[in-house]
Each structure stands twice: as structure tokens, then as C-alpha cells.
Structure 1
Amino acid sequence: MVPARSVVLAGIKHCGKTTLGRLLARRWGVPFLDTDAELEAEFAVRHKRSAGFRDIYRELGEEGFRRLEAEVIDALADGGSVRVIALGGGVVANPFLSPDALRKLGFGVWLDLKLEIAYPRILRRGLPPFLAGSADPEAEFRRICREREPKFRAFAELPFGIETEEPAETVAERLASAIEKEYSK
């Protein structure tokens, strides 16, 4: 069953938004978009060179990064066909983003991954700029997650808990079932 509107995945860094989003999009035969990739593409157009989102964050600073991110989200919110969209981890806390823009994107799903699983995933990929300068990156990560949790809750039409490390295909199957159940109500 293909959802009637776009499905928008939000959650903390490395909670599986991109991986699960690709699997859901494939299952339903709809396009997949990752806002971090969209941000990189927009940066490349504006600056006539490519850069990864971590480098963009370092170059523009948090405010510049968040302003560009808000512009990308606003552009995506202006319509389009049904798709699966993975939001960057900090999108829900972006002060430059209108709350209506997130609602316009589609059906909000919060991937609520346990922090005990998330932080080791972050370490495997290297500390992002917003944690790298901290004296205690894990404590800072936990603080940021606590601060964003109410924003994820407010965004989500469907909170989806991820309590254990499982194969992505297994989690995607459970997630798809939960979303499809919501649409059958």
C-alpha cells in the first residue's frame, strides 16, 4: 500500500533515516530524497563547487548552515509527488524554518532510536563538527538529544521506537507496517 502523501523521517543523527528511507521508497516505488544531499546540491549550485554537509557546516557556521537548510526544506515543501524524505538530524530544531514547512512536507515519522545505539554509530563514522569541539562529546550529544526530543514529538504523527540494533530490512518492514496501519485507519 503506497501512502497517500509523502512520508518524512526525522530523528537524531545516525538513527537510520536515510537507510530506512531508501528501503521504504523502494518498497512503495516512490522517489527518495535526503535533505542533507539536497543541501549539498544547493550549496554546489550557489558556490560552484561541491562539498559534503559536514564541510558546509564548518564553512558556513551553524547559522549559515541552518539558513541554507531552511531554504532547501521550504523549497521541498512547495509540493511534489508522493515520496519518502529523510530530514537532517537538526532540522526540527532549525530556528529559521517555519513549522508549517515541515507539516507541508508530509506525514511525519520520528525514528526514536535509543541513545545507547546512536552514539556508537556516530563514533564509527567520526564526530561531526557540532560535537568535535566538545570536551565531552557524548554528554553534549545526550544534551542535544534531550533538547530536541520535544520537537521530534511535536513533529511526529507517528513515533516509531527503535530499541535494539537489528538489520535495516527488519526495521524497515516493521516501520512500513506501522505507517501502512496508520493510513488504513
Structure 2
Amino acid sequence: MKRSIVLAGIKHCGKSTLGALLARRYGVTFIDTDRELEERFRAESGRELATREIFREFGAEKFRKFEAAVIGALAKKAAEPRIVALGGGVPANRFVEPEALRSLGFQVYLAIQPELAYARVLRNGLPPFLAGAADPFAEFCRLNREREPFYLKYADLVWPVDREIPAPAAAGALAEKLEQEWNIL
């Protein structure tokens, strides 16, 4: 690979799944910024919490500042090409420096249909930012509409996710697009 690939999109659009498959295909490191955030939190606090728990315990603003620090640290690391899966709110995070985000690599927005993503969310239980909503699906759609301009702002490629297909097939199709039309290799 000539440069890193960054996957962005709303929760459960397939960033981590496709990211891991693409990393395996290209023999590069896979970084999930949510996992990086958990690791950084553990290193700084000595406590092991999932991103949901960190968000719940510290609130949105502190969480977003912590998330921005993770992105800043990743941007500063000189690295070989890698695959990076961004947390769903990273592109819209006002604390993230746009230059840091852009420097991570070629940006792919996984533009999933909200109904499809929400069905995936329900399989894993509602996250804190939806759990307290009177209508969690309406809140999920609102959040997606709010974040979409940011996903589009940074996107070098918009990849539609409009139906369920096996992850290996989806990763293969995305890889073909990246290789043939975007000369990623």
C-alpha cells in the first residue's frame, strides 16, 4: 500500500470489520481508534473501561477531548501504511484538529443506510448516547444526519453500504475499488 486507509461512518457501518479484513489483505497494521482510546485510558488511569463506559462516566465533552488526543497522537506517529477505523463521532468532534484527521490517510466514508446500521446497533444493545432517548431510532437518524456533512467533508471516497452482504465480499469489493480506481497499491 502506498498510503494509509481511514474508514469513517456512523456506528455499526462496518469500519472495524472491513478494516480488519483490509489490513489482513494488505499485510498492514489495523488500528481501531476506539480500542486506542481504551488503551490510552487504561495507561493513564490504571482502569480498564470500554468506550461506552468511558463516555457514560465522564460525559460527552471529556470523552470527545480524550478522543481528540488519541487522533492527535496517531497523526504524529510516523508510520508505515495502515488501516484506521475511526470512532463514529471523530470527524464531527470539534476538538479534533482537521489537519490531524486529514493526515491519517485516504478517507473512505462508509455511507450505510440508517435502518441497516440501527438493526446492527440493536444486536449489541443501545449505547449510552441512545439509551436515554425517547425514540432511539429517531435519535440515531438525527445523529447520522448531523454527522454526515463531516463524513463527506473528509471523504476521498464515499462507499455505499445499502444491504447486508458477507464481510469478506464487502471488503473485497472495496479493495477492488481502491486498487483499480484510486491506485492505493
- Cα-Cα RMSD: 1.0
Q: Which residue in 2 is equivalent to 1:44?
A: 42
Amino acid at match of 2:29: P
**Correspondence for 2:146:** 147
Q: Which amino acid aligns with 1:67?
A: K
Q: Map Cα deviations across residues 6-60 of structure 1 (whole Å, 9 max, x no partner).
A: 1000000000100000000000000000000000000001111111000000111
The sequence identity of aligned pairs, in percent, is 55
SS in 2 for 1:77: helix
CA distance in 2 between partners of 1:60 and 1:81 (Å): 33
Q: Which amino acid aligns with 2:141?
A: R
Q: CA deviation at 1:178?
A: 1.1
Partner residue, 1:73: 71
Amino acid at match of 1:109: V
**Which amino acid in 2 is paired with 1:20?**
L
CA distance in 2, matches of 1:66, 1:184: 33
Q: Distance in 2 between matches of 1:49 and 1:150?
A: 35
The answer for the alignment partner of 1:114 in structure 2 is: 113
Letter in 1 for 2:32: D
Letter in 2 for 1:9: L
23, 38, 47: which one pairs with 2:21?
23
Shift in Å at residue 180 of structure 1?
1.1
SS in 1 for 2:163: coil
CA distance in 1 between partners of 2:32 and 2:179 (Å): 21
CA distance in 2, matches of 1:136, 1:45: 36
